[in-house]
Structure 1
Amino acid sequence: MSTPRARGFAELIEEASSVSVDGWDFSWLDGRATEERPPWGYARAMGRRLARATGGLDLQTGGGEVLDRAPVLPPLMAATEGWPPNVARAQRRLGPRGVVVVAHGDEPPLPFADGTFDLVTSRHPVRPWWEEITRVLRPGGTYFAQHVGPSSVFELVEYFLGPLDEEVRRARDPEREAAGAREAGLVVDELRTARTRIEFLDVGAVVYFLRKVIWMVPGFTVEKYRERLRELHELIAAEGPFVAHSTRHLVVAHRPNA
């Protein structure tokens, strides 16, 4: 079989346009894109914390792929997700492990009583609603999450949208988010940041990524950006992978005892 970069534009586009983008599994990109991981190993660290918890909540769990990697789950474990196809996937994946998967959008309030959980986790939430996170945590409970940082993958975003203004580039700033957590009553114990390299090896990988991570280029369709995609295909063929950089930050915070 020919490698993706050796295949024609039309074939790559058609394949990437037809494959399912449900769930939060990016294995379709194996051999077509690479991404460095932050040094703290979020999934492993989350698993260790869940093993010690008595009540856990995973916010915006996607299809439950990351949560399901935890070897041991607490006796009480819940997860929220807002996109219906992902809700169904998460229920199939996590239900047999005793996880209660709740269909819930990204807006407050969370459908749980005050002080229900001693651990709240989230990997790449759209927005952390700090007041609600504080409310559902027990005194002494911990929020442990990996957030997307500012200007993440903006080399690709601006390839399609053009230069973005400074306020857009500063969205998801870790210091701003930490300040929001403190205002909601949390104590921020740890805030770590990382900038990692991404390589897109063919234009199909870009199409798949933008179809899946829909907020990167809002309203993205192949038809709308066909000519720009064709130019990108030719650029990769001539110069090699398209390089971008992701930004991430690890947030560890706790609700103080009364």
Structure 2
Amino acid sequence: MSAHPAGPTGPIGPTGSATTPTTFDDLLAEAEAAPTEGWDFSWFEGRATEARPSWRYAEAMAERLARAEASLDIQTGGGEVLASAATLPPLAVATEGWPANVAKATALLHPRGVAVVASPEDAPLPFADGAFDLVTSRHPVRARFDEIARVLRPGGTYFAQHVGPASVFEVVEYFLGPQSEEVRNGRHPDRERAEAETAGLEVVDLRAERLRMEFFDIGAVVHFLRKVVWMVPDFSVEKYRPRLRELHDRIQTEGPFVAHSARHLFELRKPVRA
């Protein structure tokens, strides 16, 4: 998921199974008490699953970081994905806009020599033109392709995994009702490709997949919506308690609540000018 808390929906554990049944109230209380900082999704183990994209973003990112001279990770969340790389460039910087995640990322990444900069996700990047040969991001809330192009060196690369259109909208529309086509297609890869090309970046690779998710209990749904706050922006247990109760009963009788996340992989290049 990167950044706001960190960007947009974060991945849930790849494996899991139904938890021992507990009461509706107990599940809600447990989910409300769970911390939501950073992009650690280990809380979901055994409670929810999300299939992983075939391109293995973290591994591919790590390979590029090992070859880079200066890198920037945008909307790093709690820094967990960047920290998973075995080798970092001589100069490595990360930005994050959510205060709780800035503190978490700083604690995790500073020992690795990474400078963490507090920067709102919609603000211009606070770096000089051509400062980096590699810019990365996993699940940015919004990619500012004009700013990415500006801070990349000629020949530099933007390598990122984005959240795609109508991602996890089975959950969104359960609580908010049917969404317009404009909202459903707001993060369409074709639209983002056009924005990147307008900013002067060349598309080297663009791949998209839809991935199955399963929520095994209502606590997992509540924790997901508390952690990924832009999915149902006005979410609270108190406000949506009747709908939560209905969904709890449905999961108890019918099994896991199934949704589908959307992800696309971007590899963009800043052309080398004569």
Bin of the TM-score, shorter chain as denominator length: over 0.9
The TM-score, its normalising length taken from structure 2, stands at 0.93
1:135 maps to which of 150, 157, 179: 150
C-alpha separation in 2, matches of 1:24 and 1:84: 14
Per-residue displacement from partner, 1:53-88 (whole Å, max 9, x unpaired)? Answer: 000000000000000000000000000000001000
Is 1:257 paired with 2:272? Answer: yes
Is 1:62 paired with 2:77? Answer: yes
Is 1:20 paired with 2:61? Answer: no
Is 1:232 paired with 2:247? Answer: yes
Q: CA deviation at 1:219?
A: 1.3
Helix, strand or coil for the counterpart of 2:80? Answer: coil
What are the residue-to-residue correspondences of 1:107-186 with 2, within 5 Å? 107-186=122-201
Per-residue displacement from partner, 1:76-115 (whole Å, max 9, x unpaired)? Answer: 0000000001000000000000000000011231000000
C-alpha separation in 1, matches of 2:69 and 2:212: 37
Per-residue displacement from partner, 1:5-44 (whole Å, max 9, x unpaired)? Answer: 5111000000000111011111000000000000000000
Per-residue displacement from partner, 1:122-174 (whole Å, max 9, x unpaired)? Answer: 00000000110000000000000000000000001000001011110111000
Which residue in 2 is equivalent to 1:105? 120
Aligned partner letter, 1:24: W
C-alpha separation in 2, matches of 1:101 and 1:35: 29
List alignment gaps of at least 5 residues for structure 2. Answer: 1-17
Which residue in 1 is equivalent to 2:97? 82
1:52 maps to which of 67, 71, 76: 67
Is 1:220 paired with 2:235? Answer: yes
Note the aligned Cα RMSD (angstroms): 0.7
What are the residue-to-residue correspondences of 1:2-21 with 2, within 5 Å? 4=19, 6-21=21-36
Which residue in 1 is equivalent to 2:6? none
List alignment gaps of at least 5 residues for structure 1. Answer: none
Paired residues in the alignment total: 256
Aligned partner letter, 1:227: P
Identity of aligned residues (%): 65
Helix, strand or coil for the counterpart of 1:6? Answer: coil
The TM-score, its normalising length taken from structure 1, stands at 0.98
